[in-house]
Structure 1
Amino acid sequence: MADDDPTGVTGEDPTGVTGDDKTGMSGDDPTGMVGVRLMLGSRPRPVGWAARRQRIEEVGTTWPVADDIRLEAVDAGGVPAEWSTAPGAAASDVLLFLHGGGYCSGSIVSHRSLATEAGRAAGARTLALQYRLAPEHPFPAALDDALAAWEWLLASGYAPDRIVVGGDSAGGGLALALRQVLRDRGAASPACLWLVSPWTDLTLSGSSMTEKDAADPLLHRPYLDELAAAYLAGGVGRREPLVSPLFADLRGLPPTLVQVGTDEVLLDDAVRLVRAAGAAGAAATLQTWPGMIHAFPLWNGGLPAGREALAEMGRFVRRHLD
């Protein structure tokens, strides 16, 4: 998620939903989104990086990881990471997952339910990366860590055309930046990219930044502006293609699936990216999900649309791996 969680949820029940049913799928809420919105609006926004980081972990773990997932901590080229494996995952195939959080929050823990179920859908092992966060570690620290993990996978014997790179929000932007570095080095690209609500424009110039502000419970311009400033503390311009891949040369982009909700301020970041990729002759597919919010597959445990999005991702990935 590009935002940490704004809910202010604390205590043993991070959902803000009362009773035994925390799915958000009561008879009058078949999409589950009412329950998720209630959860996200149940507390004030946290203040400070530490509180924001704690909050995104609380909300991201609302639904537990499935019992059949096997987890293993690993050092991926000097970067903390976690393997997750669902039954039937192909040993040769990897999803390199880059979490969201606006480059300033988010973790393996906060995005574990998304990363693990994405691997299940893709039929691949997932390597979730704990890249360094701003403002302590501004650009290019996160990109350097993603590149280190990529090189570690290759050194471990994984073929580039058996690796999928994916992420949500800032993680989606980071996945695109990693691909740019590989292309500029003349290195092989991943088999395909999977981007959920990608943050592709740190200039915040998309019209949905204003048009969707009232609908989006997570992201708003002032907060995104704060995140961008923290990430680019070294003075890098916001139109730099490695931080705003919307402005990158997208020729030769590997097959890319972009998934986005209609109720998020970053809607135009996704739409314009796919349009630019098409203009560059690249194969990019856009899927929009009515009524869904930023990084909605994160709550796939309670959102049927989140599970449907992961199923679509799985079909896309398997098509390009097979």
Structure 2
Amino acid sequence: MISFGARLFKLLLRIYTYPYRKKHMSLSRSVRVKADRYVPPKGAAFFVRAYGGVRTEIFVPDNACRDRLIVMFHGGGHTRGMSNMYRKAAATYATATGCEVRAIDYTPGADLVYPSVHDECLRAYDAMADEAAGKKIVCIGDSFGVGLMLYTCLKRRDVAKPLPSALVSVSAYVDLAASGESYRKNCYSDPMYSLPRGMKFRDNEHFIRRRTPYAAGTDEKDPYLSPAYADFSGMPRMLVICGDCETSESDSDMLHSAARRAGTDVTLRKYRGMFHDFMYIAPRLKESKRAISEIAGFILDSGSGGAGRR
């Protein structure tokens, strides 16, 4: 049973997104995010530097551990850069784990096409991994950022470069063909991307199965673009988290299944009644705090392997 706070927040979120859902508008392209000044929390330093020419925001908690590093790949469907929502999430990961967090601030753009953003993230991670040789690296991605994270790891694996010690997937968007059954199952229950009541799925299926122009001429089931179709042989252990009312819930299912087929140590955790990126959008909910605690525990438990692991 979900908390009262989560029920109330979902109702308000459904009301807020209704005008966009009614017109089948993309939230990442349509909703404006205020560029408020970011003030880091007490107990954490914040600064910016470039890795591989890519802007990266760095969050360092007081007395940060020196042998472990978190690299964050944010979502936003390639049209959004870093926002205070993601900065707060990064700072939370830093203070919850005692680890430095580096969030890749790739260049967003509505007109960009594959693999522009993917290669930018790969270039940034390559530079970080070279500098952090010997440290245990854990990568976290959410939504579109899960695909960026997995692309980076798959490309490095395929040229025999060291991989992170562990990966965390939050509300994965890794099947750009949007082929999963959850797009039908949750077509009315997702408070962010669902159809308004009265609209029939069969008449609006092409809207609910969100397709991105970023794929351009690339096959939407290409395993680098859509890692749900990838071979995960040799990949590090993974924690896959999602809400069970997301339209893209099946992306996490497909990712979990693909990892299991390859023999990867993978755990799938679904939060009942929760929505896309719930712990980032509503971090004060009981469910969000529980998810963050679970992620932090997974990171701290990822003590074997590291930057030199294959």
Fold similarity call, TM over 0.5 = yes
* Aligned AA (2:235): L
Question: In the alignment, which residue of structure 1 is the partner of 2:199?
Answer: none
DSSP 3-state at the match of 1:82: strand
Question: In the alignment, which residue of structure 2 is the partner of 1:232?
Answer: 215
DSSP 3-state at the match of 1:257: strand
Check the 8 A contact 2:78/2:144 in 1, yes or no.
yes
Structure 2 length normalisation: TM-score?
0.84
Query: Which 5+ residue runs of structure 2 have no aligned equivalent?
Result: 195-204, 305-310
What's the CA shift string for 1:58-108, capped at 9, x where partnerless? Answer: 4x98x9863433211111221111001223431332111011112222424
Residue 320, structure 1, aligned to residue 302, structure 2: yes
Please report how far the alpha carbon of residue 54 of structure 1 lies from its aligned counterpart in structure 2 after TM superposition.
Answer: 7.7
Check the 8 A contact 1:71/1:83 in 2, yes or no.
yes
What's the CA shift string for 1:220-245, capped at 9, x where partnerless? Answer: 5656766522x112x11101111110
Give, in whole Å, the separation in 1 of the partners of 2:212 and 2:40.
31
Residue 55, structure 1, aligned to residue 35, structure 2: no
Question: In the alignment, which residue of structure 1 is the partner of 2:154?
Answer: 180
Check the 8 A contact 1:114/1:299 in 2, yes or no.
no
Check the 8 A contact 1:122/1:314 in 2, yes or no.
yes
Greater mean alpha carbon deviation, residues 160-169 or residues 102-111:
102-111
Change (3 A) 1:301 1:76: same
Question: In the alignment, which residue of structure 2 is the partner of 1:283?
Answer: 265
Residue 256, structure 1, aligned to residue 238, structure 2: yes
267, 271, 278: which is aligned to 2:253? 271
Give, in whole Å, the separation in 2 of the partners of 1:75 and 1:203.
33
Question: In the alignment, which residue of structure 2 is the partner of 1:135?
Answer: 110
Check the 8 A contact 2:69/2:135 in 1, yes or no.
no
DSSP 3-state at the match of 1:246: helix
Give, in whole Å, the separation in 1 of the partners of 2:285 and 2:40.
15
Check the 8 A contact 1:161/1:191 in 2, yes or no.
no
Check the 8 A contact 2:29/2:110 in 1, yes or no.
no
Change (3 A) 1:302 1:130: same
Residue 100, structure 1, aligned to residue 54, structure 2: no
Give, in whole Å, the separation in 2 of the partners of 1:282 and 1:141.
28
How many corresponding residue pairs? Answer: 290
Query: Which 5+ residue runs of structure 1 have no aligned equivalent?
Result: 1-27
Check the 8 A contact 1:165/1:193 in 2, yes or no.
yes
Give, in whole Å, the separation in 1 of the partners of 2:246 and 2:5.
17
Please report how far the alpha carbon of residue 199 of structure 1 lies from its aligned counterpart in structure 2 after TM superposition.
Answer: 0.8
What's the CA shift string for 1:123-158, capped at 9, x where partnerless? Answer: 2111111112243322111111111111221332x1
Greater mean alpha carbon deviation, residues 28-37 or residues 147-156:
28-37
Structure 1 length normalisation: TM-score?
0.81
Residue 247, structure 1, aligned to residue 229, structure 2: yes
What's the CA shift string for 1:180-203, capped at 9, x where partnerless? Answer: 001111111101001001111111
* Aligned AA (1:209): Y
Check the 8 A contact 2:230/2:258 in 1, yes or no.
no
Check the 8 A contact 1:69/1:84 in 2, yes or no.
yes
Residue 148, structure 1, aligned to residue 123, structure 2: yes
DSSP 3-state at the match of 2:46: strand
Check the 8 A contact 1:161/1:189 in 2, yes or no.
no
Residue 74, structure 1, aligned to residue 49, structure 2: yes
Once the two structures are aligned, what percentage of the paired residues are identical?
26
Question: In the alignment, which residue of structure 1 is the partner of 2:183?
Answer: 209
Check the 8 A contact 1:160/1:189 in 2, yes or no.
no
DSSP 3-state at the match of 1:177: helix
Change (3 A) 1:45 1:89: farther
Change (3 A) 1:269 1:54: closer
